[in-house]
Amino acid sequence: MAEGGVYDVVVAGSGAGGLVAALQARERGASVVVLEKSDKLGGGSAFAPGLFWLPLNRYSADTRQEADAYLQGLSMRRSPDALRAAFLESAADVVAFLESKGTAFALLSHPDYHSELEGARSDRTLTVENVDARSLGRWKGRVRNLPPYHPPVALTEIEQWGGLANVRKWPLLRLAVRSAARVRAGGAALVASLVRACLDCGVELRTEAPLRRIVMSDDGVRGVEIVGQDEVESIETRRLILATGGFEWDEQMCGAFLRGPHELAFTPPVNTGDGHKAGMEVGAGLDLMTEAVWGVGVKTPQQLEGKPLSRFVIAERVLPGSIMVNSAGHRFCNESASYHDVVAELHRYDAGTLEYPNIPAFVVFDAAFRKRYPVFGRMPRMPLPRWVVRAKSIEALAEALGVAGKELAGTLDRFNWFARQGQDEDFGRGETIYDRHWGDPAGRPNPCLAPVEEPPFYAATVLPGSFGTKGGLRIDDSARVLSVRGEPIDGLYACGNVSAAQSIVGAGYQGGVTIACSMAFGNRAGAV
């Protein structure tokens, strides 16, 4: 076994939380090394679109009372008081700290996902400005980018350019030039800015250094073992911060813990629960393991690092002129609701048939939709991928999908009547601020509704997946990992999806809370 050195702090994982923790520890004079499993830095944070739900930030008129009430509503009042208070205390602090290190934040006009709850606002979600990865020198090619299907565009720009409904007005040539020039946007921009700050202040970064196990003594953490390029290496430390991400790419763990089917993931295929397993081996307790940041997606023939590349579905279901149905040909949800909430409907279980009747589901749209909006990364009127089903009639489409044709036709007749009236009497699509945010402002009388009636018709199979699992090692308000008996394990800390920090929202979800929790508790772990 090779000796890999001695450090005051070792951070396992290079997503947003791990990098913030490293920066904060280095700020206090510690020698710090970040160990990344793969050959690129950033983890699932780099795949995120760039929403960061950080209440009480200096850009917002938010109040502590409002943010606290909203979190309690999301969690059905099951949010742990100490963790929720720690998050709210740290949210603004981490923004100020990262701004001092060169991260440029911007406020979005983005409504909270459950705008009907007490404390909801539309002015507390942040994003970051784009970053030119060439500023990272020799590290420019070792920072993850957004998924291959995601253009290098900041969420502030999407708002300025009129949203998903106005994609035809986006400066597509400018985006192509950005891609060639290594410009990072969204979560990848956040990671790039954090990597740059780490390099500037002397944090050591190592890639291809996966965590093998935690080395313990009677008085706590003594080090870690990692799998080096040639042999196992031992690194000594008395403070280990786990930031290794979720377990969404480990089929065995997903089957053992998650509440329902998990068919695909929208993260890099490196999140296999390494930190969870290492933590459990040294007696760490667990929490929230049934939950994930759920999302609706489609499988594609493309590969990413040897694994299937799944595509997140949003424009195809939230813009007016599309619906989602199950195999019986029936709608089953408000298609414009948050991706997390739509999966709750996919997971609806029928105790009579012992089945999930809404899996698989199908997103259905028509030629009019194709003329106006982007579909699976293709601009309006461009040819669609071969895996999208096309038919000249609803009956033929239903036959190709294996859906009851008469029922699908009846569902569309009813939906089209709702669309013309501007009111969805079945599921209330378009009634909330969040729904309308992603709709087409030009749509009248409801920005989320339009008839599906112009042939040819199109459909694709959609399945439940996730942006990462939510459950993990139990932590206290200082991000210390707690044992199965609820006692701190000396020297062991955790942040991000390897921890159960998202217990502050429980089974609920707010867009941007995942990375926000990761950064807030990473900040606390590094500051100890």
Both tokens assigned to 344: 């709750």
Distance, CA of 266 to CA of 467 (rounded, Å): 5
CB 265 within 8 A of CB 249: yes
Both tokens assigned to 141: 């090619």
Distance, CA of 162 to CA of 250 (rounded, Å): 38
Q: What is the pLDDT along the chain (528 residues), one digit of tens a residue?
A: 567 799 999 999 999 999 999 999 999 999 999 999 999 999 999 999 999 999 999 999 999 999 999 999 999 999 999 999 999 999 999 999 999 999 999 999 999 999 999 999 999 999 999 999 999 999 999 999 999 888 899 999 999 999 999 988 899 888 888 888 889 999 999 999 999 999 999 999 999 999 999 999 999 999 999 997 778 999 999 999 999 999 999 999 999 999 999 999 999 999 999 999 999 999 999 999 999 999 999 999 999 999 999 999 999 999 999 999 999 999 999 999 999 999 999 999 999 999 999 999 999 999 999 999 999 989 898 899 999 999 999 999 999 999 999 999 999 999 999 999 999 999 999 999 999 999 999 988 999 999 999 999 999 999 999 999 999 999 999 999 999 999 999 999 999 999 999 999 999 999 999 999 999 999 999 998
Burial class (CB in 10 A: 0-12, 13-18, 19+), 96: exposed
Between the alpha carbon of residue 114 and those of residues 70, 206, 346, 432, the distances in Å are: 9, 40, 19, 8
Taking the CB of residue 172, how many other CB atoms lie within 10 A of it?
Answer: 12
* Partners of 183 in beta bridges: 132
Could you say which DSSP state residue 483 is in? B
* Partners of 106 in beta bridges: 127
Q: Do domains 2-244+470-527 and 309-465 have the same CATH topology?
A: no
> 360 preceded by cis ω (within 30°)?
yes
Q: Sketch the domain layout of the chain as residue ranges.
A: 2-244+470-527, 309-465
Both tokens assigned to 300: 């594609």
| Fold observed for domain 2-244+470-527 | FAD/NAD(P)-binding domain (3.50.50)
Q: Which CATH number fits domain 309-465: 2.40.400.10, 3.90.700.10, 1.10.10.370, 3.30.70.260?
A: 3.90.700.10
What is the residue whose two structure tokens read 């029936």? 330
For the whole model, what pTM was predicted?
A: 0.97
| Identity of the residue numbered 35 | L
